[in-house]
Amino acid sequence: MIVLSENARKELEAYFADKERQTIRVYLAPGGCSGPRLVLALDEPGDEDARFEQDGFAFCINNELLQQVKGISIDLSYLGFTVTPEVPLPSSGGSSCGGCCGSCGSHQ
């Protein structure tokens, strides 16, 4: 259910190089102009979570969220980790840079 890219795996290995490995939660964060998005955080799994091991790392995700997204891919970009659902999340209905907060686009 979780696919971890080589670059993401290397980044996680570097992060945990001098720390005890903890469970990594995949969760739904509220979004601004683009709507909600999947993100990562260190957290302990709960009773409502599915748990996975991938490339030596432990992941957890809420069962209901997992049913919605079916699976996820974790990669690395210049902005950090990108978490892409197999089934796209519903958008907020607005455009990705329609001026909801005025900071998305380039304004002169």
**Domain tally, the chain:** 1
Domain that holds residue 79: 2-85
> CA-to-CA distance for 60 and 26, rounded, in angstroms?
6
Quick one: which of 28, 24, 34 has its CA closest to 68?
28
Q: What is the CATH number of the domain that holds 35?
A: 2.60.300.12
Q: pLDDT (tens digit, 9 = 90+) per residue, 80-90?
A: 999 999 999 88
Q: Is 60 within the bounds of a domain?
A: yes
CA distance 48 to 56: 22
For residue 99, being part of any structural domain is answered with no
Q: Which residues contact 4 (CB under 8 A, 6 or more apart)?
A: 12, 54, 55, 57, 73, 74
Tell me the one-letter amino acid at 103. Answer: S
Indicate whether 54 belongs to any domain.
yes
pLDDT tens, residue by residue, 35-58: 889 999 999 999 999 999 999 999
pTM of the model: 0.82
